[in-house]
Chain A
Amino acid sequence: MTGLERGARMDDLLQEFIAETRETLEAIAGEIVAWEAEPADSARLDAIFRFVHTVKGSCGFLDLPRLARLSHAAEDVLAAVRDGKRTPDTALVNAVLGIVDRIAAIVEAIDAGASLDDADEDLLIAALAPDAQPRAQIQAAPQNRAASRSVRLNVDLLDHMMSGMSEMVLARNELARRLRDSDVDPQVEAALERLSLTVADMRDTVTRTRMQKVDALFSALPRMVRDTSAELAKSIDLVIEGADVELDREMIELMRDPLGHIIRNAIDHGIETPTERRAAGKPLTGRLIVSARQSGNQILIEIADDGKGIDVARIVAKAAEKRLYGVAELAAMSEAAKLDLIFAPGLSSRDTVTAISGRGVGMDVVRANIEQIGGRIVLTNDPGRGLRIVIHVPLTLSILSTIIVGVGAQRFALPRQAIEEIVMVRGNQVRIETIGDAATVTVRGKRMPLVSLGELLDLNGDSPPTLVIVSTREGDYALGVDTVLDTEELVVKPASPAVMATGVYAGKTLPDNGLPMLLLDAAGIAAVAGLRFTPVIAAAAVVEEVVPGVPALLFDDLDGQRRAIALAVIDRVEPVPTEAIRWSGGALRLSIGETIIPLHAVAELGARTEVAVLRLTDGESEMAYAIAEAIEIVALPTDMAPARGTGPIAGVVMIAGEQIELVDPHALFAGQPVTLGSLPVCLLQVDGSGWMETFLKPALEASGYRCVTALAAGETAAVALAMEDSPVRETLAPVVTLRRTPTAERDDDPSIYRYDRPALIAALAARRAM
């Protein structure tokens, strides 16, 4: 997207905002007058509250800080009135109305491109204060209103126009048909021809009034993805495809919420944190692909991520736990039915509620919303590799450019956009072969499956003389037909369920000859014919950026110091109310929903009501680290000066010429002070989870070991460390084994609990001495 396009879209949005605000102002004018006359009448309040609230919301997006400030101030006061905290008196009403007037004046000024003095806006806002002195009404600036070039229309009216239009097309078709059957005056034919042209032109225009590029739906996504992923400390590469596919305006509005929900879900539940992704051997940056395309009389919106997919076993366990179904019932379900449980009311796939998604309004609501508009939603789950959600929405009424093909005595329409080319079998460019029992055709060196439409539909078993090369999302194939007759623009309507159940039709239509015709569904035919295409995964277009060193988050700590912490241990960054933080049981703890996690804070929280916390995780347990402010993500240099003394600081690194303290996550999780030693080599037998490098290495380095994951030539390790469940590799050094549980299963188990820091350090020292 170029800056120019973005500018143009912003202009569109701004125009829409101006039109909407102007219209609402006209609509609430009566309410304002009534409220002015009767300040105590709270019923008037709602309309005005809604108005300022809407203005506030739009301003944030459109970057109109003046309007945002005014509307925010008014909203606060009105909220206080609604909550009964303030009583509306004449002064308050006047102050609010002063702001409403000013909003109107600014909106007009924006539209006219004029500037408006903002000198007295502080006064307007000050007048809202409870102790404000009554003051003279501010005269609204003379309104220099620009002549409007747009009219807002009710969608119902457009609907009506559209259905009238398609009836008109059909009436013209019938007229043409009747005239064709009889000898007519050439002048009548010429008149009909003119009528046809006008009708066709009108039809295009009317159709366009209701259509909007799906870009209107997608344009808000990059921002949303950026904000959401930043909150969750995830890195996501969003790819948008097919933004110029057009969709019914109303459908776009109705799709907004479900799409937003699905995308937030994908980021929150689907795509893993960088730590998890590294452990799974995936690129650190997650991929989210949102695309739109037309297929027959449907628009398909696809949201695909390369995250961990849906854990079906867990969904089933949840459904059993919540007693949505009996255990036997669940056991008898097919995989697809189990996956479908994700849509069951009251089942959220994650255990903890987060700020992003999973508030209980889950996928059930999303599906209900989509089905309400006549769509459906299809999941393709690839556990560990990602989830693909395809939303099918009808083009309520679409006029489709089609090619008419004949098979036996029957004709069918094929959407033109699905057709790559039409080839004759008798040409020497085309070879038909049978591989096993599968018919294939090679056209100019490209081999693809062949489906005989006559055979599939049981109409004509002869080998077809003409091939239509059809392109579907999954792959291309050749559809064999007897003849290709014509191209025609058709009004396609949904066919009845009994017809759609065949899976090979996309709709029905009534062409000029007055005989109903079926529209073929190219992808459906491929599926019914049993074609299996190997999914072509779009190769990642972006090359992983090579970050020198480990990425870390730079932040300002509560004590004012600037510190850094390895990004991999951060699950997310989120603000929490300070009242959720308590000194209890000898430690600071943060309550999140039903759970309590330990919290580390280097200084008093002071008078804050809200504090940002880093939610840290080692993949199993969680803790929080309260900070003042997150700054940015930096790459840690390889050199670190080990810290002296104790505390959860691993050492000091140089970042952008500044000395930055590096927080030691191992110390945080172990809750133990750090001690110092000399510099023997400790060989880490890493298991790929990243735990050792992330958690153990800083801790051991702080304890005076130099940690390596592989020995350089001629280097000898003083001691080696391995996890209990990973095989101990051949090494000359004595090995200390770490276990995941605090207590050993056997008494003679020499392994050390991995967070038992003193024992670990002692064991290392002891083995080294041996």
Chain B
Amino acid sequence: MSELFLVAHVAGRGVAIAASQVESVVDIGEIVAVPRAEAFVRGLAALRSRVVTVIDTGTALGLAPTPDDVRRAVITIFEGHHYAILVDSVEDVAPSERLPLSSGMALHRGWASAGIGIVERDGEPLLILDLAAIISATALAA
């Protein structure tokens, strides 16, 4: 069964994000730091009349931190809170079929817990990223 996926780039890789997890894609404004929070919490940003928690996706995945000038973010709601997941770029939204992770495929670091499947796009496989896993990244960053 085909569902909609947002195709984006995170840490230099192409990934797919289930459209059901995406509220919107925005460019966020000034980020206010949250001292003492985990490194993957970049800070807080205002989105219209709402305050979102900005997630440094690179750090959350256990990779290099997302550069400071990255402002594009995927807004998602998890357990009643709004989060902005920083992404390098967003390509488009396309229907695709969710495939299981190929057996024997060795994912490492954050990819292992955030990757929950594969979609084929123009013959190229893209990892499906679970935003919820990135948000609760305390465990995977370790």
Chain A residues at the B interface, C-beta cutoff of 8 Å: 167, 170-171, 174, 410, 456-459, 493-499, 501-505, 508-510, 514-518, 528
- Set of chain A residues within 8 Å of B49, measured between Cβ atoms: 167, 170-171, 174, 510
- Asked whether, in the complex, the Cβ of B51 is within 8 Å of the Cβ of A516, the reply is yes
- Asked whether, in the complex, the Cβ of A458 is within 8 Å of the Cβ of B35, the reply is yes
Q: How large is the interface on B (under 10, 10 to 19, 20 to 34, 35 or more residues)?
A: 20 to 34
With contacts A171-B49, A510-B49 taken as known, whether A517 is within 8 angstroms of B37 at the C-beta atoms is no
Q: Please measure, in the bound complex, the distance between the C-alpha atom of A528 and the C-alpha atom of B41, giving whole angstroms.
A: 19
B107 at interface, CB cutoff 8 A: no
Segment at the A interface, from B7-15, B26-34, B66-74, B98-106: B26-34
Select which of B30, B37, B79 is within 8 A of A499 by beta carbon: B37
Q: Please measure, in the bound complex, the distance between the C-alpha atom of A312 and the C-alpha atom of B37, giving whole angstroms.
A: 34
- Asked whether, in the complex, the Cβ of A498 is within 8 Å of the Cβ of B41, the reply is yes
Closest to A407 in B: B35
Q: Please measure, in the bound complex, the distance between the C-alpha atom of A528 and the C-alpha atom of B35, giving whole angstroms.
A: 13
- Set of chain A residues within 8 Å of B81, measured between Cβ atoms: 494-497
22 A-B pairs in the complex with CB atoms less than 8 angstroms apart? A171-B49, A410-B35, A458-B36, A495-B53, A496-B53, A496-B81, A496-B135, A497-B81, A498-B41, A499-B34, A499-B37, A499-B41, A499-B44, A501-B138, A508-B51, A510-B46, A510-B49, A510-B51, A514-B29, A514-B46, A516-B46, A516-B51
| Least CB distance, B85 to chain A, in whole angstroms | 12
Q: Please measure, in the bound complex, the distance between the C-alpha atom of A502 and the C-alpha atom of B37, giving whole angstroms.
A: 5
With contacts A496-B53, A496-B81 taken as known, whether A502 is within 8 angstroms of B46 at the C-beta atoms is no
With contacts A497-B81, A515-B46, A516-B45 taken as known, whether A502 is within 8 angstroms of B53 at the C-beta atoms is no
Select which of B29, B30, B34, B82 is within 8 A of A502 by beta carbon: B34
Closest to A453 in B: B35
Q: Please measure, in the bound complex, the distance between the C-alpha atom of A499 and the C-alpha atom of B136, giving whole angstroms.
A: 11
Chain B residues at the A interface, C-beta cutoff of 8 Å: 29-30, 32-38, 40-41, 43-46, 49-51, 53, 55, 79, 81-83, 135-136, 138
| Least CB distance, B56 to chain A, in whole angstroms | 11
- Set of chain A residues within 8 Å of B38, measured between Cβ atoms: 498, 501
Q: Please measure, in the bound complex, the distance between the C-alpha atom of A502 and the C-alpha atom of B38, giving whole angstroms.
A: 8
Q: Please measure, in the bound complex, the distance between the C-alpha atom of A410 and the C-alpha atom of B45, giving whole angstroms.
A: 14
Q: Please measure, in the bound complex, the distance between the C-alpha atom of A459 and the C-alpha atom of B33, giving whole angstroms.
A: 10
Task: Return the 10 tightest CB-CB contacts between A and B, nearest first.
Answer: A457-B35, A170-B49, A516-B44, A496-B81, A502-B36, A496-B53, A516-B51, A508-B51, A498-B41, A516-B32
Closest to B137 in A: A498
Q: Please measure, in the bound complex, the distance between the C-alpha atom of A456 and the C-alpha atom of B36, giving whole angstroms.
A: 8
Closest to B45 in A: A516
Closest to B80 in A: A494
- Set of chain B residues within 8 Å of A509, measured between Cβ atoms: 51
- Excluding A516-B45, A516-B51, 18 further A-B contacts by CB distance (< 8 Å) are A167-B49, A171-B49, A174-B49, A457-B36, A495-B53, A496-B53, A496-B83, A498-B40, A502-B37, A504-B36, A505-B34, A508-B51, A509-B51, A510-B49, A518-B32, A518-B34, A518-B44, A528-B36
| Least CB distance, A20 to chain B, in whole angstroms | 32
Closest to B81 in A: A496
- Asked whether, in the complex, the Cβ of A517 is within 8 Å of the Cβ of B32, the reply is yes
| Least CB distance, B104 to chain A, in whole angstroms | 33
- Asked whether, in the complex, the Cβ of A410 is within 8 Å of the Cβ of B41, the reply is no
Closest to A517 in B: B32
Residue from A516, A517, A518, A528 with most neighbouring chain B CB atoms (10 Å): A516
Q: Please measure, in the bound complex, the distance between the C-alpha atom of A167 and the C-alpha atom of B50, giving whole angstroms.
A: 9
- Set of chain A residues within 8 Å of B135, measured between Cβ atoms: 496, 498
Q: Please measure, in the bound complex, the distance between the C-alpha atom of A505 and the C-alpha atom of B37, giving whole angstroms.
A: 10
| Least CB distance, A499 to chain B, in whole angstroms | 5
